[in-house]
Structure 1
Amino acid sequence: MCLAIPGKIKSIETRHDGMVRMAKVSFGGITKEASLEMLPEAQVNDYVLVHVGVAISRVDEQEAQKTFKYLEEIGELGELEDVDEYLPKNN
């Protein structure tokens, strides 16, 4: 099952001569990288939904926490271990 997981942006950096924005996103203590290409307005401390390494929308903190708790309860967070193969590699 493919899910968009809510997380909080901890930091943002640019790559490829400033052409690509990448964020470090915290998912309940697990930190992964996500592309911000679909959300150029995203900032540090924003909550975003991330699908296969791409932040696809912003959400408020309450909605992010509610969704994350639900995903944890139904056992769907194990997929966080599998998304590394879809994420952009550091250059």
Structure 2
Amino acid sequence: MCLGVPAKVVEMEEERALVDVMGSRMYVGIIFVPEVKVDDYVLLHAGQAMTIVDEQFARESIEEWRNVLDGSHGPLF
């Protein structure tokens, strides 16, 4: 199973971007989304931005991730 984590693009460089993932910042590859720009939301997998997603989807997904991490979502399986 692959999980995509939503992140907001904060800064751009040539082939990577600085993203914010629920308050943590890291650099990720952007070769799969060459059209990405600052303030876009992307789904990350294995250090790469895989696709651009809309802000509403990203915010809803982040909320679900927070619920899982806080343990307020109940068992996953």
Q: Normalising to structure 2: TM-score of the pair?
A: 0.83
Hey, what's the Cα distance between the residues in 2 that align with 1:33 and 1:68? Answer: 19
- What's the counterpart of residue 42 of structure 1? 36
Q: Which runs of 4+ in 1 moved over 2 A?
A: none
Q: Secondary structure at the match of 2:31?
A: coil
1:33 is matched with 27
Distance 1:75 1:28 in 2: 11
Query: Take 1:53 and 1:67, find their aligned partners in 2: how far apart are those partners?
Result: 18
The correspondence of residues 1-91 of structure 1 with structure 2, limited to 5 A, is 2-14=2-14, 21-75=15-69
Q: Distance in 2 between matches of 1:13 and 1:61?
A: 22
**What is the CA-CA distance between 1:2 and the residue it aligns to?**
4.3
| Greater helix share, structure number | 1
Stretches of structure 1 lacking an aligned partner (at least 5 in a row): 15-20, 77-91
CA RMSD, 1 decimal:
1.5
The number of residues matched between the two structures is 70
Q: Distance in 2 between matches of 1:28 and 1:73?
A: 12
Which residue does the alignment assign to 2:75? Answer: none
